[in-house]
Amino acid sequence: MANTPLDEPKKGPLDGVTVLDFSRVLAGPYCTMVLADLGARVIKVEKIGTGDDTREFGPFVENESAYFSCFNRNKESIVLDIKSPRDRELLERLLDEADVLVENFRPGVMERLGYGPERLAQTHPHLIYSSISGFGHTGPFSELPGYDMVVQAMGGVMSLTGWPDGEPARVGTSFGDLSAALFAAVGIISSLYSRTKDAQGTRVDIGMLDCQAAMMETALARYDIEGVVPNRTGDCHPSLAPFESFKAEDGKLVIAAGNDTLFLLMADAIGASRLAFDPRFITNDLRCQNRPALVEEMERILTTRPVQHWVDLLNEEGVPCSPINTIDKLLDHPQLKARNMIVQVQGSAGKPFRTAGNPIKMTGRVDLGSDTPLVAPGLGQHRQAILDELMARHGSYCLPSTPGQAGKARSAKAGATSSGQRQGAQSDQAAMARQDSRKASGSAATRIKGGQSASDKQGQEPARDLGKRVGKP
């Protein structure tokens, strides 16, 4: 049997952390992908029948969505029917075991399901609850639907994207979703650290519009100081020059000479030392004021040779520069390959394809490999394994001690013909699960409200079985 995320060792810094991922599409799954890349165990909770919406997004590899696989690698999948008493009991078990819950529904959805943050703060005080939504869970816009395109427009980034004489443009990637995902990951990891000190879970409330405002660099401050609405500047930096693209003989390159020293080096590299002494270009402010003239002077020289010629000369002088690569150039880029940034991903049974890896490089940990494909789960692939694991751990039923006996027991269980017997067994298991869960929750609540127990003070495992997890109370 092929290895699954269930039996593959986790070697990242979040090893031992369990995440319940209720999210779908992009912002939430990207956040939990980052956590999984860092070693967390991520259990993706999906809806019956369809699962995550992106399972139907192209492109497809052997009938499996590459879009889904990109952002759900190294996760487990369980399908739950929240209306089913048995599945609600199973979910309660998972909540007992989990450190983090991530969801990106509109405000109110999780409350209607019975798993809102206020309720879980009472029943599972150890849990870090992270919500990602268009506008956060407070404020006059909190109930509005928010998608990446909407947030890019409302947050102002579209007004800054494109050329001055053109129309506003969407950033070429889902900037709103991805920035929210990364801020959510920062909030979650910060909360895990905080919990090591006070044993208390945290609510992390991420609004995509908030994240867009935070990513506006100095645009807000510039308007407040100067009173001029920032506009589209094409590919040039509004406060630095030369800091943009330039025409060469066979294409365009970017030159980013962001200070006076780099400008001098750039002028020498392209054989135009006179530019460094031109009174129009003596300082950065003057270069910005006279940008059209500077671009004209530089392109008069740059268009005489191909892009790579100038890139080689500029790199020799330490001037930041680059050709403008198309996406096809990235998969075999020597720097990205050397940094293990091109990895293979595949669906549960599909053909591997290449995509971007984890950019967080840390000493003392094994990076994601580029040779062995990272697997995204099939819909509900790990339900039975998770169920067996939880039931065995909590004693709701006992698995035989040997693999052979276990197989016989499972066969006997599967061969039962009486539906009444099966339902009765499930009911007994659920009743025992409820009893264990209530006892565990009471123990945790007492510990949080009443201070540390004697066993806690002695450094022993608390009464509540939360597993061997990093940073858990």
Residues involved in catalysis: 237
The backbone torsions φ and ψ at residue 333, rounded to the nearest 5 degrees and listed phi first, read: -65, 125
Q: What's the CA gap between 199 and 445, in Å, rounded?
A: 11
Strands 374-375, 342-346: parallel, antiparallel or unpaired by DSSP? parallel
Amino acid at 395: G
Comparing CA positions, the residue from 69, 24, 34 lying closest to residue 348 is 69
* Rounded Cα–Cα distance for residues 94 and 389 (Å): 11
Coil, strand, or helix at residue 109?
helix
The angle formed by the CA atoms of residues 413, 416 and 422, to the nearest 5 degrees, is 80
Cα-trace Rg, the chain: 28
Write the CA distances from 382 to 43, 44, 194, 215, 386, integer angstroms.
Answer: 9, 10, 31, 38, 6
Q: Alpha-carbon distance 266 to 272, whole Å? A: 8
Which amino acid, residue 198? D
313 token code pair: 């000369």
C-alpha 235/C-alpha 258 separation (Å) is: 14
Q: Within a 13 Å sphere around the CA of 141, how many CA atoms are in the beta-carbon half?
A: 14
Q: Which two tokens stand for residue 124?
A: 């599972």
What's the angle, vertex CA 267, arms to CA 265 and CA 273, rounded to 5? 110
Tokens describing residue 56: 């139907």
- Six-digit token string for 378: 């099939």
Distance CA 353, CA 346 (A): 6
Q: Tell me the CA distances in angstroms from 174 to 150, 267, 325, 343, one per residue in order.
A: 11, 37, 19, 21
The torsion of the CA quartet 465, 466, 472, 473, rounded to 10 degrees, works out to: -30
Q: How far apart are CA 265 and CA 317, in angstroms?
A: 6
Q: Half-sphere exposure (CA, 13 Å, Cβ side) for 140?
A: 0
